[in-house]
Each structure stands twice: as C-alpha cells, then as structure tokens.
Amino acid sequence: MSTLLDLHGKHVLLGLTGGIACYKAADLTRELVKAGASVQVVMTESACRFITPVTMQALTGHPVYTDPWDARAGHNMAHIDLPRAADAILVAPASADFIARLAQGRADDLLALLCLARPQSHVDATRRVPLLLAPAMNREMWSHPATQRNVAQAAADGAIVLGPACGEQACGEVGEGRMLEADELRDELIAFFQPKLLAGRRVLVSAGPTFEPIDPVRGITNHSSGKMGFAIARAAQEAGADVTLVAGPVQLATPRHVRRIDVTSAQQMHDAVLPEAPAHDVFVATAAVADWRPARADGRKIKKDGSRKVPALELVENPDILATVARLPAGQRPWCVGFAAESHDLVKHARDKLVRKSVPLIVGNVGPATFGRDDNALVLVDAAGERELAPGPKLALARQLVREIAERIPAKR
C-alpha cells in the first residue's frame, strides 16, 4: 500500500459499468481516497445491479450520478460539468459493451456521454481530461475480434487501456480478461500523473543484498532489504523509462512494467548486469554487493566435530560491478550512479568511492539506520560538493533522485 498522498489534489471521475468486477470498485475507491484523491462516481444502470450507489456514496462522500437528466448539475448538464471538474476519468470496470459504445462514439447513457464530451487535446490544447479504461470480461469476450477492434479503436481515439490481467474468472474459467486489482489500478493512476522525465530512456537498476555460500545452508550476506532499489525502479518506470531490475535474494513484489532478473551471488549479479549495461542509458547501482566470498563453498554442511576447532574461511574479492560498468568504452557505458551505505564518515567514504570508481554521482546513506525501513535519508555527492535530501519515504526520495538523474544525464542523440 502506498504510504504517500500521491494523488493529493487530484479529482478522479470513477466510472462503473456492468460486471461482477464492480465489487473491486469499492476497494479501488478506498485506495484512491487514501492516496489523497477526491473521487466522483458515475454508474451505468447495469453497474447498479452489481453494487449500489449508496455504497459508492458512503466511500467517496459525494453523491453518485447515474442519470444524464440529473437536475443537480448546473443547467442539467452533468455530462459537461462532471468531466470538466476532473483531472482524469477512470472507468473500472469497463465492460465489452461500454468499450464498443466508446469506439462507436455513442452517447446513450451518462457515462458514455461524458466520456465523449470530455475536454481533449485536439479540441483545446490548454485543457485535457485523460480517459483510462480497465477492461473486465470473460476471456472469450476479451479475445473476440470485435472486442479487440473496439479496444484498438478506443486507444487510437486517446483512451489509455490498463490491463486486463490473466487469471481465474467469476464464471470459473481461467484466462485473460480479469480487471486489475485495486492496488494495481491505484498505482497505474499514480504513475500516469508522474512527469515523464525519462521518456525514451532505458534504466538499469541493481538492488538488494547478495548471498555468498559457505556451504549448502550458510553464507555471507547483509541486511539490505532492496526497498530503495525497488523504489528507484518504480520511480524510473513512472517517469517513462524502460526499466530492468537485477535483484538479489529479496521478497519484494516487482514494480509494474519493470523487467526483473533474479540473482543470488555477487558473481551472478555481475554476469547479469554486464551484458545489459551497454543497452541502457543509466545504471543505478543500489545493490549492497558483498565485497568478498569464500574461496571455496563446501558441498556439504560443515559440522562441528567436538574439537572446538573453528574451520578456516579463506575469502577472495568479488568483482566490482559499478567500477566495471563505469570503465566500459564510450558508446557502451551508461551514465552511472553508485550507492554508498556506510556506518560512519558517510560523506568521506562516499567521496572516496566517487573518485575510486570514476562515476558522476554517489548517493550515500547510513545503512544500519535504514536497512529494512520504508524511509531513508540520502546525501548526493558529486564533483561539485554534497547535498542532503530531507528524510522521507523511500519512494519519495527515489522520485527526487530520478529528477536529479534526468537533469544531469546528457541529452539523447
């Protein structure tokens, strides 16, 4: 769940059409309100057979509109007034019938009417109300050529299609056509409103710890949770980037639309990052990579034998992933950002790392104070000096860092 008021100040017009997925609309409304949005619900007659306007009014605190002749709107023109007050229209669920009517430009109920009447960029460049559709229907209905044509036409006319997902359906069948879950739709809407500062860019992120095996059950690792790296991957994707995430052994959900490569050891992370780096514009090395690994991993668990003799553990140095990427030839080398998680003398060690690894930016934090937490405090270290970012949620800091990267990276040729 988002801990930020990411939708503060946004007015969302939430449209409901007929379908069993209407039950998810209650959770979706709660999530949007928790994220700071003001939500106005408009329902079709069919939607009212699945969930009541009373429920949606209780969740939003606003009266629900269902009738194009509703006299509460100024001049009896709800189809004009409602979309002009909105920052976005989200139809969830969007039924096959509703998408077909959109594609045909029909306006035979209030929701279809206001979608047709919403301000669009080709009419008024100074005011645009985006339309987002979350399809929900049986898998056969979704795959039908007519539905696919209608979805394509709605998208060509400017609608943004979110989903659908694949999985078990109310009818008992399994396939594509499920509406996205409430938290997924919330995050899609949040991402939509984020500035697309990295549009057209490719960003590679490493995150989490590594695990260096001593024997089949023991190993060398650290307390990194991967949360900062995953937040950066999400923030970069929100900013329009094509993101690849190379993740050590962590139990975190992959940010939406992010390609993930799972690894365990430092050598595996090195072998995953190096082939990817030349195809990316930016490399953000947040992973807490182990500096050393056992020279030899025992194939069987090392047992105590009663002699109190402690087995010798010979260590060898792991490859330096960030330094290796930073030394790639021009034209293959992405713009590199390193992380320094320190226990003391943060700025000194971060600056030493900046010089030693020849990268333009190091982001420092006190690791023991932030490992596993949802908040952080960062300091940016570059050739010009240091600047602290105020403590805050990791996702908020990740978005600040993405803005910094967007301002610093060379223009795309």
pLDDT digits (tens, 9 = 90+) for 236-295: 999 999 999 999 999 999 999 999 999 999 999 999 999 999 999 999 999 999 999 998
Residue 132 and residue 188 in contact, taking contact as beta carbons nearer than 8 Å: yes
pLDDT tens string 197-239: 999 999 999 999 999 999 898 999 988 999 999 999 999 999 9
Tell me where in the chain the CATH 3.40.50.10300 domain(s) lie: 202-300+307-408
Q: Whole-prediction pTM value?
A: 0.90
Write out residues in the chain with pLDDT < 70, as ranges: 1-3, 74, 121-126, 367-368, 413
pLDDT, residue 310, reads: 80
Active site residues: 171
Tell me where in the chain the CATH 3.40.50.1950 domain(s) lie: 11-193
Residues contacting residue 152 through CB under 8 Å, at least 6 positions apart: none
Q: To the nearest 10°, report the CA torsion of 16, 17, 20, 21.
A: -50
- CATH for 202-300+307-408? 3.40.50.10300
Q: Which fold has domain 11-193?
A: Rossmann fold (3.40.50)
How far is residue 19's CA from residue 31's CA, in Å, rounded to a whole number? Answer: 20
Residue type, 63: P
pLDDT, residue 156, reads: 96
Peptide bond into 130 cis (omega under 30): no
Centroid of chain to Cα 119:
28
